[in-house]
Amino acid sequence: MILKDLLERSDYSCVQGDENAEISSLVYDSRKIEKDSVFVCISGAAFDGHEFIGQAAEKGAAAVVIEKDTEIPEGLTVIRVEDTRLALAEMSAAYFGYPAEELTTIGITGTKGKTTTTYMIRQVLEHAGQKTGLIGTIETIIGDEKIPSVNTTPESYVVQESFRKMADAGCKNVVMEVSSQGLMLHRVSGFTFDYGIFTNLAEDHIGENEHKDMDDYIHCKSLLFQQCRQGIVNGDDDYVERIIKDHTCDIETYGMKDTNDVYAENVELIQEPGYLGVAYDLKGRQEYRVAVDIPGDFTVYNSLAAISLCRHMGIVKEDVLEALNSIQVKGRLEIVRTPGEYTLMIDYAHNAMSLSSLLTTIRKYNPNKIYCLFGCGGNRAKSRRYEMGEVSSNLADLTVVTSDNPRYEEPMDIINDILVGVHKGPGEYVTIPDRKEAIKYCMEHAGKGDIVILAGKGHEDYQEIKGVKHHMDERDLIQEILEGR
């Protein structure tokens, strides 16, 4: 492959060498440099690729792509761009033959609901006979292959590589979660989404390692609607006008209010032994009764987004209804069957907003008692601990404080921080640092009509302690407890 062909959609200047150089591979990780590679120098949080240019020359790289002045060895072709992350995205698209143009691309952004909405859409499209790839927080799905995820939105090279594999595997569509970081760092640049979906926005991911303030967070989320052809947005959200302010796409709204293009009426909570769900009347551009096998108001919003998208894609009502009535998303209000007369569920709620939303939703089902088990991650903002503790104490009947991923902190230090918040509310609490023992406590004490929520881990199957990820899947722990192990 010729270097300039990789750069055909990029703004660049060749400041040294020959842009007609033959290239063997495109890399952004210095450890993967080989003879005749082009090495794109990315400035990351921990490392700056510009510091590895000498290493690239030693390994026989043919070219480097830079965004700032730096010392360059002789013999290397040097391409200068404004932003190497954007260049990597554009070059990756070219390197893999622009696979997004062979797929219907669907991007979903928002603080909450991305994962569930992504799986809803995939399930409906697959049920309708359309092979659909998925990229998200839990995994990447390419045909029968499932690859555990590192980031919600991978680096642009991995996105394009996944698109190529999906297209080659016969996928017609790809649905992916698009994080604010992914938009900010150009991980989804280099192509235009066919559809962009906005779920909701709340104050989260604000801090020195993510977004400097709420304005920056909103701006990054809004970028999706300057990079898609059709926008489908939650018209009830307080921030929606700011999200779509500079949109370049067509916009359709969904929500509970009848001012939206698509909306829900007559919402009904459905409860049976070991089952919680929701049903409603769909109104607006389509009208029929919908039932979804996941509880809560946010399920109404997530399913409205999925239904709106599927209408644009020509999916018939029967496929939508059958798929939504049998859906389960790992770690998202996931009900685990037990012989007990209580309901046991696993959910990823790991901050105050998501925990409040979850507990408020479950309270609407009028349980006898709510048991809320959770911990907080180590080496993360302490404010999250206080806030989650207070939310649980106010909204659950019993808070069971345990360990999550302590990382490099002592578990009891984290638990004591959580208790600062717990003490602000009226709820009862117990502290059990060992997560398996904490789950066992809940299962042994829960009675008829109670709902036990294991919050925070969700789809995760590990516990991170002092830099080591130990296998720990709550589903396995539940089974071990049931078997008396």
111 annotated among ligand-binding-site residues: yes
Residue 366: name the closest of 308, 309, 450 by CA.
Answer: 450
405 annotated among ligand-binding-site residues: yes
200 annotated among ligand-binding-site residues: no
85 token code pair: 């992350």
Read off φ and ψ for residue 466, nearest 5 degrees.
50, 50
187 annotated among ligand-binding-site residues: yes
115 annotated among ligand-binding-site residues: yes
Q: Which of 372-408 are b and which e, b meaning 16 or more Cβ less than 10 Å from the residue's Cβ?
A: bbbbbbbebeeebbbbbbbbbbbbbbbbbbbbbbbbe
Q: Which amino acid is at 185?
A: L
456 annotated among ligand-binding-site residues: yes
**3-class state of residue 33 by DSSP:** coil
406 annotated among ligand-binding-site residues: yes
Q: Which helix (H) or strand (E) holds 48?
A: none
Strand partners for 407: 465
379 annotated among ligand-binding-site residues: no
49 annotated among ligand-binding-site residues: no
192 annotated among ligand-binding-site residues: no
Q: Where does 33-172 show beta strands of DSSP type E?
A: 37-40, 63-66, 77-80, 104-109, 132-135, 139-142, 145-148
456 token code pair: 């925070």
361 annotated among ligand-binding-site residues: no
- Separation of alpha carbons 86 and 66, rounded Å: 11
404 annotated among ligand-binding-site residues: yes
Residue 480: name the closest of 273, 338, 334 by CA.
Answer: 338
Residue 51: name the closest of 70, 77, 37 by CA.
Answer: 70
- Separation of alpha carbons 285 and 261, rounded Å: 6
Angle among Cα 341, 415, 410 to the nearest 5 degrees reads: 125
Report yes or no: 244 and 233 within 8 Å, Cβ to Cβ.
yes
242 annotated among ligand-binding-site residues: no
117 annotated among ligand-binding-site residues: no
360 annotated among ligand-binding-site residues: no
- Separation of alpha carbons 389 and 302, rounded Å: 27
Biggest CA–CA distance in the chain, Å, is: 76
151 annotated among ligand-binding-site residues: yes
113 annotated among ligand-binding-site residues: yes
- Separation of alpha carbons 315 and 312, rounded Å: 8
| Binding site listing for meso-2,6-diaminopimelate | 380, 404-407, 456, 460
| Binding site listing | 30, 110-116, 151-153, 179, 187, 380, 404-407, 456, 460
| Binding site listing for ATP | 110-116
